[in-house]
């Protein structure tokens, strides 16, 4: 089958393309901006890419158009597909019907930690010899790709609550029909599509309703919103983590050591490669989920010592003159606070210079702007890139006093950081986008005479 994917360079749709190619389909696609690293991965796999949404692409005559959720009504190619009555489907629906059907799906959902937890889970299953397929919204260092298709029964997927497509406003994860489900946490996000937290809770309950009675839900007991989701009805075995009557994890003899317990009884300990209590809990959820498919906690915990991390999750991009530059995907205030705390735990010495781009639709609108000062309070300096914001970042961050500075010019921001940074400092860049290549610009500026 020949499929043509609209919005192919997004992380999810690019992963769908890689899986379709691995399954033997002819895959072509287009996007507003065809750019690496996804474009490079796709071209290497034989996917033909087209820049833009010219209606002439219908002349490729694919058997099916697969539409990403970045494509809206008014898009010229989409309008032509609709006007001509050509066959189309959303990315999640195509994935569910053509890849996930018949497999044991292990899904990881939640506001924070999906990518890391899904990566940990895939690695645990790999270490147990189960060779899982996966589709993850990031690149696990142990695998080097964001998506993989194998002959295994098991498929690990990052289950996103964002909407499916222009024609289907349910959350993507409704399509996945998991048997094992991790519910990491739940907070308000995606203000561009959800009116409030209750609306997101409804989508999560729709997900819970899809699980079979012989499935298993691994849920975070410390998230009140998840408690409300479960109270609306649950027909599946439920295990909680974060409370004594269930799974718990605590710091061990060092900051890096994690001690895992089930129902108050220790089941193992390991030196983790990831920093912070939130990552200990991500690892705990992965261990609990793997147990549902028969992997012993002891084996899972031992494999965690060899987990290589995930690109863009406290990823070191380089060190110049003793100043280390990190890249992280954090953009929600809670994730920002956890990332700063995790880096502080990993590197107790030296200052943290936080460089933030509030780029998500929710942050651009300023929906959670008042939470930012508290989320950045543990940083020694804060630099905020303000281009495109609909709110006054300087006024919002004023509680941080002289520690903060705001810039609508990226080069000016880079210069300000480079002039301030000293040997031993940690420059923590946080954005859910490319941030104008700021990481390399910072390294270049730090290295300049």
At 406 the pLDDT is 93
Shared domain check, 336 and 260: no
At 22 the pLDDT is 94
Cβ atoms of 301 and 262 closer than 8 Å: no
At 448 the pLDDT is 81
Shared domain check, 362 and 259: no
Token readout for 251 is 């710091």
Shared domain check, 110 and 56: no
Shared domain check, 106 and 75: no
Domain annotation covers residue 290:
yes
Rounded Cα gap, residues 318 and 425, in angstroms? 12
Q: Which domain holds residue 117?
A: 102-304
Token readout for 8 is 């192919």
Shared domain check, 159 and 261: yes
Single residue among 91, 114, 140 that ends a domain in this structure: 91
* Cα dihedral: 371, 112, 426, 443 (round 10): -110
- 79 sits in which H/E element: helix 76-83
pLDDT in single tens digits along all 449 residues of the chain: 999 999 998 889 999 999 999 999 999 999 998 766 678 888 888 899 999 999 999 999 999 999 999 999 999 999 999 999 999 999 999 999 999 999 999 999 998 889 999 999 999 999 999 999 999 988 898 998 889 999 999 999 999 998 999 999 999 999 999 999 999 999 887 777 888 999 999 999 999 999 999 999 999 999 999 999 999 999 999 999 988 789 999 888 887 789 999 999 999 999 888 878 888 999 999 999 999 999 999 999 999 999 988 877 788 999 999 999 999 888 788 889 988 988 998 888 899 999 999 887 777 777 788 889 999 999 999 999 999 888 899 999 999 999 999 999 999 999 999 999 999 999 999 998 788 889 999 999 998 85
Domain annotation covers residue 96:
no
Domain annotation covers residue 309:
no
Shared domain check, 404 and 337: yes
Shared domain check, 320 and 232: no
Domain annotation covers residue 265:
yes
Query: What CATH number has the domain bearing residue 51?
Result: 3.40.50.720
Cβ atoms of 183 and 219 closer than 8 Å: yes
Shared domain check, 65 and 135: no
Domain annotation covers residue 133:
yes
Q: What is the DSSP-derived secondary structure letter of residue 96?
A: I
CB-CB neighbours of 395 under 10 Å? 10
Shared domain check, 130 and 274: yes
Cβ atoms of 141 and 128 closer than 8 Å: no
Domain annotation covers residue 337:
yes
Single residue among 91, 111, 140 that ends a domain in this structure: 91
In 3D space, the residue among 380, 402, 390, 337 whose CA is nearest the CA of residue 360 turns out to be 390
Shared domain check, 70 and 48: yes
Single residue among 35, 66, 91 that ends a domain in this structure: 91
Shared domain check, 380 and 275: no
Shared domain check, 184 and 152: yes
Query: What CATH number has the domain bearing residue 350?
Result: 3.90.190.20
């Amino acid at each position: 089958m020949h499929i043509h994917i609209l919005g192919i360079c997004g992380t999810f749709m690019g992963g769908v393309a890689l899986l379709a190619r691995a399954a033997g389909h002819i895959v072509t696609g287009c996007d507003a901006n065809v750019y690496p690293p996804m474009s490079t991965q796709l071209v290497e796999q034989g996917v033909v890419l087209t820049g833009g949404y010219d209606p002439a692409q219908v002349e490729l005559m694919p058997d099916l158009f697969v539409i990403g959720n970045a494509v809206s009504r008014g898009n010229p190619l989409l309008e032509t597909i609709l006007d001509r009555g050509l066959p189309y489907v959303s990315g999640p629906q195509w994935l569910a019907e053509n890849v996930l059907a018949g497999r044991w799906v292990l899904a990881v959902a939640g506001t924070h930690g999906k990518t890391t937890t899904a990566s940990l889970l895939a690695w645990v299953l790999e270490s147990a010899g189960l060779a899982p397929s996966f589709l993850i919204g990031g690149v696990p260092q142990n695998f080097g790709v964001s998506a993989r298709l194998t002959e295994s029964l098991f498929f690990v997927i990052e289950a996103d609550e964002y909407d499916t497509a222009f024609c289907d406003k349910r959350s993507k994860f409704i399509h996945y029909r998991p048997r094992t489900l991790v519910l990491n946490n739940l907070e308000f996000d995606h203000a561009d599509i959800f009116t409030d937290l209750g609306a997101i809770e409804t989508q999560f309950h729709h997900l819970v309703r899809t699980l079979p009675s012989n499935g298993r839900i691994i849920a975070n007991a410390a998230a009140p919103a998840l408690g409300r989701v479960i109270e609306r009805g649950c027909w599946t075995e439920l295990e909680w983590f974060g409370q004594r009557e269930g799974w718990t994890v605590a710091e061990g003899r060092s900051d890096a050591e994690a001690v895992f317990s089930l129902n108050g009884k220790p089941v193992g300990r390991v030196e983790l490669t990831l920093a912070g209590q939130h990552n200990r809990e991500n690892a705990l959820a992965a261990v609990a989920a793997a147990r549902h498919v028969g992997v012993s906690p002891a084996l899972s915990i031992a494999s965690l010592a060899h987990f290589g991390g995930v690109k863009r999750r406290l990823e070191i991009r380089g060190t110049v003159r003793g100043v280390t530059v990190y890249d992280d995907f954090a953009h929600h205030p809670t994730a920002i606070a956890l990332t700063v705390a995790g880096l502080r735990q990993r590197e107790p010495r030296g200052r943290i210079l936080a460089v933030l781009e509030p780029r998500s639709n929710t942050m651009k609108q300023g929906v959670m702007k008042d939470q930012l000062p508290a989320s950045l309070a543990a940083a020694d300096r804060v630099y905020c890139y303000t281009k495109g914001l609909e709110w006054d970042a300087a006024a919002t961050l004023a509680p941080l006093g002289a520690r903060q500075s705001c810039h609508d010019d990226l080069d000016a921001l880079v210069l300000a950081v480079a002039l301030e940074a000293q040997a031993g400092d940690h420059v923590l860049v946080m954005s859910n986008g490319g941030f104008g290549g700021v990481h390399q610009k910072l390294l270049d500026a730090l290295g300049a005479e």
